[in-house]
């Protein structure tokens, strides 16, 4: 082995603490990059494979009741490759021991047993026998949540008929990749189920003999989707067509796609931020490290080593640390990515999983780290190479502190000698100090912004479940009913308040922008479910126009004062032109509000409601839900507490959980930076400090000169880090937000307080480690070896 | 007489500019014959180390010329200077400048690795009287031992010229004499031209030629009729 290789290995061993700290900073940046991109790639490729293998349909066309012979007409539409009709309907499932009825969707299986579209994946048991109307498939998640297995029975009410059903098998389907109860955002396996039943049985229950109420379409590759949808609508219109829509607007797919898109945008924003912070630090740290080797570089050059040879030597040192960190980061990223995918599987019902890692993310992570590290080293090497070996071998000329003399004089009465040394060094070497300071500020910013993110998630949940939604229960009716029906509910013992609501399915359009969703009619001074402005103040419902949520307004590219076209998909299905009168802050979904009676007038259906918000005596919750379950008009009851806990679970274990990993990484990076700052300051000052000790300064006094400097830099870094962090957190929040939920963030003092504690504790630990070395320093050695 | 090893004409070196300028060399004209031991004497700041650094290709002159065997050192590019140091020149410094992370042998190998016709590292260490402790790190060696490692490192490449800047400056006189003995032996055995910069006037007695520096100029050059051995000198 060549002596330079020996030197390399021994140098690495000598600076192992620092090398590990630098390597970890790189590893954290690369880990996040690899983890997030791997997660996105895995979810995306699994979704695509699942859709493809189980033939997720391209177009859904719900209709009130269409005759079966219409299939032929529909199949002849230009661009349609295949049609399949089916019967779908709502069901209420009795779960023994549960007060609230559990909502479910019933879907017919094709008569011949072969689903051309939206095939089911049978995960246990067997397919139902078409000849036996009481046999069903049950969606796997729901079955597991309630301990049901093939062979068990289930009591369900379908279209008013109570039936005992035999579970023959458990299944999954690409159209139910993500399953949430109507009106809810997050899935809860125990509170919403899917039942597949023979076509004949479904037709009998839902009065669909010789008819269907949903058509599914596969399109040809060159189909013009808009034209196809229009043609389907035209054909189904006489039969109560509810508007055909593409798979991109299908609930489950939309949610999954939004989630993956959101994840991708997080993966495209946050890891590069981490990586660039890590890279920047690496640049500074390596630069200063090489700087401290200046005399050895000069010596090697004096012997006749060429710049290239010396450069290669130091580059190797940098590369060992950088690639070591990057490889560790890749491994951690793969492990982390796999862990995150497992979390997602709780919510995305994939029957199989294709682990994919994005090779580009490895490359980007590794290359960025190595470039940054080499850049920092090479820049300094170039400066050292520019010196003659004679200059390089001498320590740099003593820094000129004369310009800071006045500061010392002015403060000499106030400060002792060591304090003045600290102050002079800081004022006299502003660039070097700024480098260290910005490094620590970046660490502070990462930690602070991640902690802000935690608070913002919490805040958003709080606002949603205490300020926006102040009800205890939400009930939804099977269809529009007269609000007089609410009277019975309102007078029930234990019900304190009832507030009507009407959801009307509609397509909102502004120019080429459109959104398929619903309009929400509420009383003027709605109290249990409110629209709020950015100050969390309730906005009154208006009769003269719509109040759009910020997300919806952004999607439609519309602002208050503009007009929007509303194609109502219910009742007599009018198309309305409405002004947008206000924009409301929204956190979940994309609501559009209007005063209830104004909505009813527009639809010419006075007094109609589709549901209600209830405030109840908490002690009577079970009793009331039990009673509501018995009411024929009630299709579903949602207990807010359950919805909230389901949401928290998703935020903490699913979509939002990556923030905890990022938080942890931010702390590690912060520690790595602060430790390096302390180490380098020590390396730069070792001789000075030994001199002080020789002159009779105590260990404590000598340490003060070094640690005082570190303390000042750290303290200055805190407010700067806070500012940087606030900017960073805005980017992170924007990345986390999707069409489905928006996380909003103000300035969170406590986040930065805690981040400051992280930084200070890192400074304290690093300071103690450095002080330990300082106390052990060999005074004679330090003074004698070099000039 | 052989062609001179070094010739300089009007050599100056100024550090800094304007009022802060320091004139380290103010015009040096000099000839140094090959295979001699030459001692450069003078007070601090008289320019002797600066001259040594320029002749050794470690530093650049401000004006004037310096020739090594007819080649103009002052006109060399960085690359040519590197070649020059690599091929012809060995250095010994006051503070040894050993790589702390390499053992004695490895410190020597650092140079033999890139030299064209080096002696074995162990042979160089024997030459300076270091037979044991050659696998020790600098921190485990005494000052004299460290300096002998530094000399072994300098001579291992069999250079034509050995530049020694205060080689005994950090050593006690007994150890210092051992080091000087090694240097004169290298000169005698290998015919290496040895240039020694020192404060210690007594060192002059073992030189073929003594150059006195004062204030950036050569004050005088003395050729010793008789030379003392390293054991005979005291300071």
A706-750 pLDDT per residue, tens: 888 888 889 999 999 999 999 888 887 877 777 667 777 778 888
- Domain assignment present for residue A57? The answer is yes
pLDDT band of residue B209 (cuts 50, 70, 90) is very high
pLDDT band of residue A100 (cuts 50, 70, 90) is low
Distance from CA of B109 to the nearest CA of A (A): 6
- Domain assignment present for residue B21? The answer is no
Q: Which stretches of A493-633 are assigned E, i.e. beta strand?
A: 495-510, 513-522, 531-532, 538-539, 546-549, 563-568, 575-584, 592-595, 608-616
- Beta-carbon separation of B97 and A393 below 8 A: yes
* Contact (Cβ atoms closer than 8 angstroms) between residue A295 and residue A393: yes
Q: Which residues of B touch A786 (CB under 8 A)?
A: 95, 97
Q: Which domain holds residue B197?
A: 34-60+77-232
Q: Which residue has the higher pLDDT, A652 or A131?
A: A131
pLDDT digits (tens, 9 = 90+) for A533-551: 888 889 999 999 999 998 8
Query: Does residue A511 share a domain with residue A464?
Result: no
How many domains would you assign to chain B?
1
Quick check: B8 pLDDT over 90? yes
How many domains would you assign to chain A?
3
Q: Which domain holds residue A537?
A: 495-616
- Domain assignment present for residue A621? The answer is no
Q: Which residues of A touch B93 (CB under 8 A)?
A: 393
For chain A, the straight-line distance linking the first and the last C-alpha, in angstroms and rounded, comes to: 31
Query: Does residue A548 share a domain with residue A456?
Result: no
Query: Does residue A59 share a domain with residue A126?
Result: yes
Q: Distance (Å, rounded) from C-alpha A709 to C-alpha A765?
A: 15
* Contact (Cβ atoms closer than 8 angstroms) between residue A550 and residue A742: yes
| Mean of pLDDT values over A348-362 | 82
| Partner residue facing B58 (CB), from A2, A309, A389 | A389
Q: Which of A16, A303, A686 to mutate to test the interface with B (most CBs of B within 10 A)?
A: A303
| Partner residue facing A7 (CB), from B53, B95, B101 | B101
Radius of gyration in angstroms for the set of CA atoms belonging to chain B, rounded to a whole number: 17
Q: Which residues of A touch B170 (CB under 8 A)?
A: 784
Q: Distance (Å, rounded) from C-alpha B42 to C-alpha A569?
A: 103
- Domain assignment present for residue A70? The answer is yes
- Beta-carbon separation of A303 and B111 below 8 A: yes
- Domain assignment present for residue B163? The answer is yes
Give me the CATH number covering residue B137. Answer: 3.40.50.300
**DSSP assignment string, A62-122:** EEEEEETTHHHHHHTSTTEEEEEEE-EEEEEEE-TT-SSPEEEEEEEEPTTS--SSSPPEE
| Partner residue facing A302 (CB), from B85, B87, B139 | B85
* Contact (Cβ atoms closer than 8 angstroms) between residue A651 and residue A457: yes
Put simply, the chain B residues between 118 and 177 with a CB less than 8 A from any chain A CB are: 139, 143, 170
- Beta-carbon separation of B83 and A3 below 8 A: no
Q: Which residues of A touch B57 (CB under 8 A)?
A: 389
| Mean of pLDDT values over B32-44 | 92
| Partner residue facing A304 (CB), from B82, B107, B143 | B82
Q: Which residue has the higher pLDDT, A52 or A674?
A: A52
| Partner residue facing A6 (CB), from B79, B91, B102 | B102
Query: Does residue A648 share a domain with residue A786?
Result: yes
Among A540-544, A666-670, B10-14, name the one with the lowest average pLDDT: A666-670
Q: Which residues of A touch B160 (CB under 8 A)?
A: none
B110 in A contact zone (CB under 8 Å): yes
Q: Which residue has the higher pLDDT, A657 or A55?
A: A55
Among A212-226, A326-340, A359-373, B36-50, name the one with the lowest average pLDDT: A359-373
Chain A residues whose C-beta is within 8 A of a chain B C-beta are 2-4, 6-7, 10-11, 14, 295-296, 299-307, 309, 385, 388-391, 393, 781, 784-787
Q: Distance (Å, rounded) from C-alpha A85 to C-alpha A691?
A: 90
Distance from CA of B67 to the nearest CA of A (A): 18
pLDDT digits (tens, 9 = 90+) for B98-123: 887 888 998 898 888 888 888 899 99
Q: Which residues of A touch B89 (CB under 8 A)?
A: 304
- Beta-carbon separation of A303 and B82 below 8 A: no
Give kind and range of the element (H or E) at residue A257. helix A251-291
Q: What's the helix, strand, coil split of chain B in %, to 5?
A: 35, 25, 40
B111 in A contact zone (CB under 8 Å): yes
Q: Which residues of A touch B114 (CB under 8 A)?
A: 303-305, 309
Q: Which residues of A touch B94 (CB under 8 A)?
A: 787
- Domain assignment present for residue B9? The answer is no
- Beta-carbon separation of A304 and B93 below 8 A: no
| Partner residue facing B113 (CB), from A3, A388, A391 | A3
pLDDT digits (tens, 9 = 90+) for A567-594: 887 777 889 999 999 999 877 778 899 9
Q: Which residues of A touch B95 (CB under 8 A)?
A: 784-787
C-beta pairs of A693-697 under 8 Å, 24+ apart in sequence:
A693/A777, A693/A779, A694/A779, A694/A783, A697/A418
Identify the three-state secondary structure at position A581: strand
Q: Distance (Å, rounded) from C-alpha A65 to C-alpha A213?
A: 5
What integer pLDDT is reported at residue A786 of this predicted model? Answer: 45
- Domain assignment present for residue B223? The answer is yes
Identify the three-state secondary structure at position A141: helix
pLDDT digits (tens, 9 = 90+) for A150-207: 999 999 988 888 899 999 999 999 999 888 776 666 777 888 899 999 999 999 999 9
- Beta-carbon separation of A299 and B97 below 8 A: yes
- Beta-carbon separation of B95 and A10 below 8 A: no
Query: Does residue A685 share a domain with residue A549?
Result: no
What integer pLDDT is reported at residue A399 of this predicted model? Answer: 58
Identify the three-state secondary structure at position A697: coil
- Domain assignment present for residue B56? The answer is yes
- Domain assignment present for residue B137? The answer is yes
Q: Distance (Å, rounded) from C-alpha A464 to C-alpha A586?
A: 9
Query: Does residue A698 share a domain with residue A582?
Result: no
| Partner residue facing A304 (CB), from B95, B101, B114 | B114
Q: Distance (Å, rounded) from C-alpha B96 to C-alpha A784?
A: 11
Distance from CA of B122 to the nearest CA of A (A): 14
């Amino acid at each position: 082995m060549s002596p330079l290789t020996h030197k390399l290995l021994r140098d690495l061993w000598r600076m192992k603490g620092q090398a590990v700290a630098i390597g970890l900073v790189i590893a954290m940046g690369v880990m996040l990059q690899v983890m997030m991109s791997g997660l996105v790639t895995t979810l995306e490729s699994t979704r695509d494979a699942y859709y493809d293998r189980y033939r997720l349909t391209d177009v859904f066309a719900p209709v009130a009741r269409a005759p079966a012979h219409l299939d032929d007409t529909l199949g002849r539409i230009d661009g349609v490759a295949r049609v399949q009709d089916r019967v779908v309907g709502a069901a209420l499932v009795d779960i023994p021991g549960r007060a609230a009825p559990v909502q479910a969707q019933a879907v017919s299986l094709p008569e011949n047993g072969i689903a051309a579209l939206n095939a089911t994946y049978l995960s246990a048991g067997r397919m139902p026998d078409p000849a036996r109307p009481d046999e069903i498939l049950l969606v796997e998640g729901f079955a597991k949540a309630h301990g049901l297995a093939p062979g068990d029975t289930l009591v369900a009410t379908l279209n008013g008929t109570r039936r005992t059903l035999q579970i023959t098998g458990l299944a999954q389907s690409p159209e139910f990749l993500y399953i949430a109860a109507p009106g809810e955002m997050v899935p809860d396996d125990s509170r919403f189920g899917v039942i597949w039943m023979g076509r004949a049985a479904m037709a009998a229950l839902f009065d669909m003999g010789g008819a269907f109420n949903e058509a599914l379409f596969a399109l040809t590759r060159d189909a013009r989707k808009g034209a196809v949808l229009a043609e389907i609508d035209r054909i189904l219109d006489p039969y109560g067509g509810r508007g055909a829509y593409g798979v991109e607007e299908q609930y489950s797919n939309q949610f999954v796609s939004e989630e993956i898109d959101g994840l991708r945008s997080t993966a495209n924003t946050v890891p590069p931020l981490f990586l660039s912070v890590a890279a920047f630090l690496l640049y500074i740290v390596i630069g200063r490290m090489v700087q401290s080797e200046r005399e050895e570089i000069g010596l090697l050059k004096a012997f006749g080593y060429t710049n290239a040879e010396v450069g290669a030597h130091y580059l190797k040192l940098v590369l060992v640390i950088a690639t070591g960190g990057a490889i560790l980061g890749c491994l951690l990223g793969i492990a982390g990515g796999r862990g995150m995918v497992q979390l997602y599987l709780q919510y995305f019902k994939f029957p199989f999983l294709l682990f994919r890692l994005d090779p580009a993310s490895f490359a980007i992570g590794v290359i960025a780290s190595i470039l940054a590290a080499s850049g920092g080293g090479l820049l300094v090497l170039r400066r050292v190479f520019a010196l003659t070996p004679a200059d390089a071998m001498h320590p740099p000329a003593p820094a000129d502190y004369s310009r800071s003399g006045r500061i010392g004089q002015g403060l000499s009465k106030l400060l002792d000698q060591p304090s003045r040394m600290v102050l002079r060094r800081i004022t006299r070497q502003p660039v070097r100090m700024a480098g260290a300071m910005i490094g620590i500020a970046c660490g502070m910013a990462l930690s602070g912004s991640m902690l802000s993110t935690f608070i913002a998630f919490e805040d958003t949940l709080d606002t949603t479940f205490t300020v926006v939604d102040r009800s205890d229960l939400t009930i939804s009716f099977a269809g529009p009913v007269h609000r007089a029906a609410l009277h019975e509910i309102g007078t029930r013992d234990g019900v304190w308040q009832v507030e009507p609501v009407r959801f009307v399915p509609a397509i909102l359009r502004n120019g080429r922008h459109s959104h398929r969703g619903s309009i929400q009619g509420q009383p003027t001074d709605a109290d249990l479910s409110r629209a709020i402005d950015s100050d969390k103040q309730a906005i009154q419902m208006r009769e003269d126009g719509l109040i759009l949520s910020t997300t919806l307004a952004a999607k439609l590219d519309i602002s208050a004062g503009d007009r929007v076209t509303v194609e109502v998909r219910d009742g007599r299905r009018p198309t309305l032109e409405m002004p947008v009168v206000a924009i409301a802050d929204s956190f979940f979904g994309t609501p559009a509000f209007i005063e209830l009676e104004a909505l009813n007038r527009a639809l010419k259906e006075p007094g109609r409601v589709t549901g209600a918000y209830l405030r109840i005596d908490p002690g009577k919750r079970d009793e009331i839900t039990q009673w509501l379950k018995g009411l024929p008009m009630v299709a579903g009851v949602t207990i807010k507490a359950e919805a909230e806990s389901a949401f928290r679970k998703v935020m903490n274990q699913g979509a939002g959980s990556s923030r905890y990993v990022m938080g942890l990484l931010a702390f590690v990076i912060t520690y790595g930076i602060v430790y390096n700052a302390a180490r380098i300051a020590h390396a730069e000052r070792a001789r000075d400090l030994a001199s002080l000790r020789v002159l009779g300064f105590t260990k404590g006094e000598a340490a003060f000169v070094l640690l005082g400097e570190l303390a000042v830099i750290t303290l200055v870094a805190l407010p700067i880090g806070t500012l940087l962090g606030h900017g960073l957190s805005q980017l992170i929040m924007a990345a986390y937000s999707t069409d489905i939920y928006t996380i909003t963030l103000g300035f969170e003092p406590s986040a930065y307080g805690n981040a400051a504690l992280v930084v200070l504790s890192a400074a304290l630990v690093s300071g103690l480690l450095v002080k330990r070395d300082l106390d052990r320093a060999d005074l004679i050695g330090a003074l004698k070896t070099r000039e | 007489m052989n062609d001179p090893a070094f010739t300089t004409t009007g050599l100056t070196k100024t550090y800094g500019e304007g009022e802060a300028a320091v004139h380290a060399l103010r015009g040096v004209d000099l000839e140094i014959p090959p295979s001699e031991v030459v001692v450069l004497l003078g007070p601090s700041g008289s320019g002797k180390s600066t001259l040594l650094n320029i002749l050794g290709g470690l530093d650049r002159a401000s004006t004037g010329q310096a020739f090594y065997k007819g080649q103009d050192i002052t006109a060399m590019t960085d690359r040519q200077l590197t070649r020059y140091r690599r091929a012809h020149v060995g250095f010994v410094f006051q503070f040894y400048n050993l790589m702390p992370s390499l053992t004695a042998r490895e410190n020597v190998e650092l140079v033999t690795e890139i030299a064209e016709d080096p002696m074995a590292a162990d042979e160089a260490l024997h030459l300076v009287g270091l037979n044991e402790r050659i696998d020790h790190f600098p921190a485990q060696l005494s000052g004299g031992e460290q300096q002998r490692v530094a000399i072994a490192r300098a001579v291992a490449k069999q250079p034509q010229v050995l530049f020694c800047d205060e080689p005994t400056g950090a050593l006690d006189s007994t150890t210092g004499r051992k080091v000087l003995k090694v240097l004169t032996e290298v000169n005698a055995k290998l015919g290496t031209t040895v240039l020694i910069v020192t404060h210690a006037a007594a060192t002059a007695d073992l030189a073929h030629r003594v150059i006195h520096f004062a204030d950036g100029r050569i004050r005088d050059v003395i050729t010793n009729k008789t030379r003392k051995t390293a054991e005979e000198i005291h300071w």
